[in-house]
Structure 1
Amino acid sequence: MIRKAVIPAAGLGTRFLPATKSMPKEMLPIIDIPTIQYVVQEAVDSGIDDILIISGKGKRAIEDHFDRNFELEARLEEKEDQAWFNEMRRLSDMANVHFVRQKEANGLGDAIYYARHHVGDEPFAVLLGDTIMDSVIPVTRQLVDTYEQYGGSVIGVETVPHDKVNRYGIVGGKALSDTILQLDTLIEKPAPENAPSDLAIAGRYILSPEIFDAIENTPKGKNNEIQLTDSMLLLLKRENFFAHLIEGKRHDIGNKLDFLKTTVEFALKRKEFAAPFREFLKDILKAEG
């Protein structure tokens, strides 16, 4: 049973400067909901309510977001705005959210290592804090189901165009079904001719606690940082490791263009915005010829 989730959210967000000079990139809103709230909600919807967020300098806004705001709640009560009052209480009560700071930006593997005391000897989920999954069944729940069936660490993967595999960590292995592979290799950003498949790591994982020992033994790699992919490759040599082809769409909020695309797609799904916003987009496209 997976009881705990870890959300790395310590990155500097340099691709979103100047907005992220004083605001965590994970707090950038998709319309009116911060990115990281979608991630926490996915963990909760997957049956996990013990969540550790790995934060860093300048990330206090994330802690405040999941904490109680008594002054705001009192003001909403005074205004008899029950809907928003209930939503603010739901937000602060949705999970047991804990925080620990990554003292230096030493890579994703190093960030995960900060979770070792909180996780202990249990398997746990990892959800990247700048990646939103849009799916009917929560993607983390899909991975939990695979873990419970096969009993080994699981990586969520998605199919990417073959000529773009050099942008991702790519997995390779033996197909056990249409959606499950037993892995025999992981390669970070391979040249297309060297890629073992077109299946890219999608920012969701179920990891055994042995990953911490693997991280300890992982030398610094790309950008002189401890890469989680390198640590998982070490773990792959010791125990069974699986990949699950996720059902759903991944939204990478780590760059501006994808952030804009995600905002548009989510706006078109919101009942109060969908019709007028669609007409607005049509008018713009028509005006541009």
Structure 2
Amino acid sequence: MIKKAVILAAGMGKRFQPITRVIPKPMLPIGNKPTLDFIIKELIDSGIEQILIVVGHRKEMIEEYYRDRVEIEFVIQNNLNGTAPAVLLAEDFVNGEAFALCLSDEIVESIVPCTKQLMDVYTRNNASMVTAIEETTAVKIHSYNSVNMTEKQGNIAKISSIIEKPQGSSPSLFTSIGRYIIAPEIFNIIKSLKLEETRELYLTEAFNLLLKDNAAYGLFFEGKRWDIGTKEGWIETNVRLGLID
């Protein structure tokens, strides 16, 4: 059983400035709740018992808001040099177990929690990584990532590679959203990469090494992904979810 989850919430939120100079982007409200509340609820409803939030910019606001939640811990990403170094900070917390990973700028609305859907696929297929995927547009794919799939059976596809923010042509219009179940082997792979303070290192670089010798799958999940990484997406999410208690 997967009982631990990591949320990446250290970013500066530059596209939301000036408000994110004082409020961290993961705490921007959807209705009367911060974005993180929706993600944490998804994880708890999926059976997760321990959550580590990787914080950075305006971390004290996040820590104060969740200080009474005994299931939540924090680790600080002082150098904002990408998602791979951020995940590496969770190695001690994970302690050799498979874990769920969530990006903090996406909310998934679904009957069965998206993370729970991924857990089931991970367990059934003896996978090393499972991610939620959806189809996007030719315009948006260059801001996301592009998933190259080799086999598809029903709502599950085998992944051969993931291209981060492809320029020019892309392998497909299918993208991996910010929901994953990952085997602990990912930490040794991240440590094998060349970490540089001046270069942003994406987790997809580690995933592509993991995929060479291990099975990874994409799940066409049941539900609706809300992208709150842009002002337009945040406003749209508020219109749809902001009135839901």
- TM-score bracket, normalised by the shorter chain, equals over 0.9
- Report the Cα distance in structure 1 between the residues aligned to 2:244 and 2:11, rounded to whole angstroms: 29
SS in 2 for 1:60: helix
* Corresponding residue number in structure 2 for 1:274: none
- Does residue 199 in structure 1 map to residue 208 in structure 2? no
Per-residue deviation, residues 240-265 of structure 1 (Å, max 9, x unmatched): 11111121111121211111111111
Per-residue deviation, residues 109-168 of structure 1 (Å, max 9, x unmatched): 110000001101111000111211111111111100100110111011111123432222
Q: How many residues align?
A: 243
* Corresponding residue number in structure 1 for 2:84: 109
* Unaligned stretches of 5+ residues in structure 1: 69-91, 272-289
Residue number among 127, 137, 151 corresponding to 1:161 in the alignment: 137
Per-residue deviation, residues 220-258 of structure 1 (Å, max 9, x unmatched): 59x711110111011111211111112111112121111
How far apart are residue 39 of structure 1 and its match?
A: 0.6
SS in 1 for 2:134: strand
Cα-Cα RMSD:
1.7
User: Does structure 2 conserve the Cα–Cα contact (< 8 Å) formed by 1:165 and 1:192?
Assistant: no
Alignment of 1:137-286 (within 5 A): 137-152=112-127, 153-191=129-167, 193=169, 195-219=170-194, 224-267=199-242, 270=244
Q: Where in structure 1 do 4 or more consecutive aligned residues deviate above 6 Å? A: none
- Report the Cα distance in structure 2 between the residues aligned to 1:192 and 1:178, rounded to whole angstroms: 30
- Report the Cα distance in structure 1 between the residues aligned to 2:14 and 2:165, rounded to whole angstroms: 21
User: Does structure 2 conserve the Cα–Cα contact (< 8 Å) formed by 1:13 and 1:24?
Assistant: yes
Change (3 A) 1:25 1:57: closer
SS in 1 for 2:213: coil
User: Does structure 2 conserve the Cα–Cα contact (< 8 Å) formed by 1:54 and 1:111?
Assistant: yes
* Corresponding residue number in structure 1 for 2:41: 41
* Corresponding residue number in structure 1 for 2:12: 12
Query: TM-score, normalised to structure 2's length?
Result: 0.93
User: Does structure 1 conserve the Cα–Cα contact (< 8 Å) formed by 2:11 and 2:57?
Assistant: no
My pick for the range that moved more, 179-188 or 136-145, is 179-188
- Report the Cα distance in structure 1 between the residues aligned to 2:161 and 2:244, rounded to whole angstroms: 41
Query: TM-score, normalised to structure 1's length?
Result: 0.80
- Report the Cα distance in structure 2 between the residues aligned to 1:180 and 1:165, rounded to whole angstroms: 20
SS in 1 for 2:20: helix
- Report the Cα distance in structure 1 between the residues aligned to 2:73 and 2:29, rounded to whole angstroms: 21
How far apart are residue 270 of structure 1 and its match?
A: 3.4
- Report the Cα distance in structure 1 between the residues aligned to 2:217 and 2:95, rounded to whole angstroms: 22
Structure 2 counterpart of 1:125, which letter? A
The structure richer in strand per residue is: 2
User: Which structure has the bigger radius of gyration?
Assistant: 1
Per-residue deviation, residues 144-198 of structure 1 (Å, max 9, x unmatched): 01001101110111111234322221111223412111111111122463x2222
SS in 2 for 1:206: strand
- Report the Cα distance in structure 2 between the residues aligned to 1:190 and 1:56, rounded to whole angstroms: 27
Where relative contact order (Cα < 8 A, 6+ residues apart) is larger, the structure is: 2
Change (3 A) 1:160 1:220: farther
How far apart are residue 14 of structure 1 and its match?
A: 1.1
SS in 2 for 1:104: coil
- Report the Cα distance in structure 2 between the residues aligned to 1:58 and 1:199, rounded to whole angstroms: 33
Residue number among 104, 110, 119 corresponding to 1:129 in the alignment: 104
- Report the Cα distance in structure 1 between the residues aligned to 2:177 and 2:46, rounded to whole angstroms: 17
The structure richer in helix per residue is: 1
How far apart are residue 67 of structure 1 and its match?
A: 2.1
